[in-house]
Structure 1
Amino acid sequence: MTDLTPTYRFAPAFQAPTGSAIRELFKYLSLPGMISFAGGYPATAFFDQPHLAAAAERALRESAVDCLQYAATDGLPLLREQLAGLMGRRGAAVTVDDLMVTTGSQQGLDLLIKVLLSPGERVLVECPTYPAALQAFRLAGLQVDSAVTDGDGLDTDSLAEQLARQPRGSLRLLYCVPTFANPTGACLPLERRLALLALAVEHDFLIVEDDPYGALRFTGQEVPSLLALAPQVDGASGRVVHLSSLSKVVAPGLRIGWLIAPAPIRQRCVIAKQTVDLCTAPWAQQIAALYLADGALERALPALARGYGEKCARMLAGLEGLSDVVQVSPPQGGMFIWGRCRGGVDASALLQRAIEERVMFVPGSPFYAAHPDASSLRLSFAAPSLEQIDEGLLRLGRAAGRLL
């Protein structure tokens, strides 16, 4: 008898794909009483629901056609205008024509990979770095190398030595989160930002600056983005592509991000986006545009940063009681605390004990392109309440006691 079972022939990258290690942990969220320090979710209590609801009602009442019909692939004019103004207030002088709207900033990275890179070409990432970026690069068949970091982010002196050993132009793209990096929370100092831009000119590569957390500073001095600084370095203008998002500061459910890039890159990204989703949801775009136009985000940001600062301080205070187990690096903003288990303890083993105690975090291994530090871990203070932070750290202490 003929076997009629269908045969599926997958593309090479998807013959045995690896999913997100962080999202694999979500199955534990349904356990009764689980406290999560794992995902980088914003605090639902901080969502500006009244003003978002007002913007949504107004969008449908005043702009039903714009909300319910297809829109231009690069985004609604009103939203692009508001985002250009937002970037101007952040120190980067851009025009409406410099940016396009994306369905979250992750789509912006995906579009860049499609239009700029071919399988086998080399990209450089921070060590450690954002795992969804690693996943995107690997699925595209790219060679992913790592650059040394320390408590202040990319070590540009080490990077200069690394690049000097390679032919100019062999590196196509460097991806980084210079402001409150995921996972380390590090913020690249001004002098290193200028040095990085100079290296991009000297060695002819493009910098992708991912900036979802830059507005969430709760201590220390503001540092301009790489995009804002590029005009100060000869030859650096046009070498920075900037990605950002409203996910961390307004609501991830909107799925509103944006990409700022030189015209040749941006135009090709628009064409690539046409084949993906035609346009980012116009209703969500109109809601975001009206929310920004009302000034609601600017009014909300100070309290938002203070709220996350309070949560971070609470977690750091609690971690002092676990200092014999975990060594951590205090951030100046963002949503994450990076640490290492003392004595070379495997963070994955600690996680298993922690889940039994009904608390979760993310082991650090998925954040490395190669040679992971098995003792490293990431804790997010963003989503849990202050009381949950206190209780979760008590549970983590019990888990460590059981393991050790």
Structure 2
Amino acid sequence: MPLQFATRLNNVETSAIRELFKLLGKPGIISFAGGFPDSAMFDVAGIKAAADAALTEEPGGALQYGATEGYEPLRQQLAAFMGTKGVEVAPDGLIVTTGSQQALDLLGKTMISPGDKVIVEGPTFLATIQCFRLYGAELVSAPIDAHGVDTEQLEQLIVEHKPKFVYLIPTFGNPSGALLSLERRRKVLELAVKYQTLIVEDDPYGDLYFDPASPPPRSVLSLSKDLPGSREWIAHCGSMSKVLSPGLRVGWMIAQPELLAKATMCKQFSDAHTSTFAQATAAQYLKAGRMPATLANVRKVYGERARVMGAALTRELGDAVEFTQPQGGLFFWARLTGKGGKVKDAGEFAKRAIEQGVAFVPGAPFYAKDPDVSTFRLSFATADVGKIEEGVGRLGKAA
């Protein structure tokens, strides 16, 4: 007899991005497909010093089992870190998660019953689509533009579908790179209060803005202090993966106490707690005050790579492609126009690109419904300027 798997697995598929990675073993291929930071940007010396400090100052705490809610010194450091971004939160007002991906999984476990409606951006983070569908959610797609989710249409969707919650990546979204405007952020808060609807703010990229003189608007969570009654309707997910190291797997969630308590209970069943050694290392890193310099470095490097990629796309593809130059994050989101007899379907474009020795991710999998097959995502994070120039040149040949 074959194994009888849970029926909830019928709602999800293997990640299209993971499948694409199987094609990347071809020698000489240039990849714009990954959604991860450049390992050359990791502050190895600082992380090593932090790990040494963790083992020297409190080896028992770093190596023993720990509290499910998180290692207390890290919770204190994260509360202070959020304070620098305009968020007032006590250490017990957040829980530490194994990356922000676990925070999303815990929200799925605690909030979604089969058949519940959940509104997501169209397009949105692929793993979120898979995660929420695993718990039986019916996903509703809210349209976005370069300024983030269209709040007028979002309100209409909230009224029509009465969702369990709304999931947004307001700052340099994956895959869109979109930046939700200040006006729309305030409108999102108003909608949360008006319709008593939970807003999940996923913020792994918010610190990766390119112009130090022009940071993005404050987070939705930070802005909630300006609107009485809105804070309780915000769940904020943060991560160290894009700014320090994905390998540490350190994320966090800030939410109302009842939601945190339920999430903590579910986390007990999942992993008991996030690695105490990783947490202690992250705590020591933040305590040492190295984060500002690390952020300044990655902002400069990624900003230059984004500038070069934008110029190269314009030069090599011309009006055959449309995109908005990103102000931060890791991604370009582009649309093929088909002008000049060029390819219009991103799936076909991806196949041609692989033949030319360059890879990217077609946009269709990032849509919960009604995918735009002319869209695609490029990451500039892991390729240096020379590789970006060469890779985009290959894209020009593939089009």
Q: TM-score, normalised by structure 2?
A: 0.96
Distance in 1, Cα, partners of 2:2 & 2:373: 39
Distance in 2, Cα, partners of 1:112 & 1:330: 32
Where do residues 265-280 of structure 1 align in structure 2 (5 Å cutoff)?
265-280=259-274
Distance in 2, Cα, partners of 1:244 & 1:221: 17
Matched, 1:226 2:244: no
Matched, 1:184 2:186: no
Deviation at 1:221, TM superposition (A): 3.8
Distance in 1, Cα, partners of 2:395 & 2:270: 42
Deviation at 1:15, TM superposition (A): 4.5
Deviation at 1:160, TM superposition (A): 2.4
Deviation at 1:165, TM superposition (A): 4.1
What is the aligned partner in structure 2 of residue 3 from structure 1?
A: none
Deviation at 1:222, TM superposition (A): 2.9
What is the aligned partner in structure 2 of residue 204 from structure 1?
A: 196
What is the aligned partner in structure 2 of residue 98 from structure 1?
A: 93
Structure 2 letter corresponding to 1:315: M
Q: Paired residue for 2:251, among 237, 257, 270?
A: 257
Say if 1:201 and 1:236, in contact at 8 Å, map to a contact too.
yes
Deviation at 1:71, TM superposition (A): 0.6
Where do residues 358-377 of structure 1 align in structure 2 (5 Å cutoff)?
358-377=357-376
Distance in 1, Cα, partners of 2:239 & 2:393: 34
Deviation at 1:63, TM superposition (A): 2.2
Matched, 1:143 2:138: yes
What is the aligned partner in structure 1 of residue 17 from structure 2?
A: 22
- Unmatched 5+ stretches in structure 2: none
Where do residues 290-305 of structure 1 align in structure 2 (5 Å cutoff)?
290-305=284-299
Say if 1:28 and 1:34, in contact at 8 Å, map to a contact too.
no
Say if 2:11 and 2:133, in contact at 8 Å, map to a contact too.
no
Structure 2 letter corresponding to 1:175: Y
What is the aligned partner in structure 1 of residue 383 from structure 2?
A: 384
Q: Paired residue for 2:8, among 6, 13, 16?
A: 13
Distance in 2, Cα, partners of 1:16 & 1:375: 25
**Number of residue pairs matched by the alignment:** 392
Q: Paired residue for 1:338, among 333, 341, 361?
A: 333
What is the aligned partner in structure 2 of residue 307 from structure 1?
A: 301
Give the secondary structure class of the aligned counterpart of 1:148: strand
Distance in 1, Cα, partners of 2:383 & 2:322: 21
Overall identity of the aligned pairs, in %: 47
| Greater Cα offset, 330-339 or 342-351 | 342-351
Structure 2 letter corresponding to 1:391: E
Give the secondary structure class of the aligned counterpart of 1:238: helix
Matched, 1:282 2:276: yes
Distance in 2, Cα, partners of 1:135 & 1:258: 20
Say if 2:345 and 2:374, in contact at 8 Å, map to a contact too.
yes
Distance in 1, Cα, partners of 2:26 & 2:53: 39
- Offset from partner CA, 1:201-223 (integer Å, 9 cap, x none): 11121000000000001133431
Distance in 1, Cα, partners of 2:75 & 2:397: 50
Say if 1:112 and 1:269, in contact at 8 Å, map to a contact too.
yes
Deviation at 1:57, TM superposition (A): 1.9
Distance in 1, Cα, partners of 2:8 & 2:159: 32
Say if 2:11 and 2:134, in contact at 8 Å, map to a contact too.
no
Structure 2 letter corresponding to 1:37: F
Where do residues 151-190 of structure 1 align in structure 2 (5 Å cutoff)?
151-165=146-160, 170-190=162-182
Give the secondary structure class of the aligned counterpart of 1:218: coil
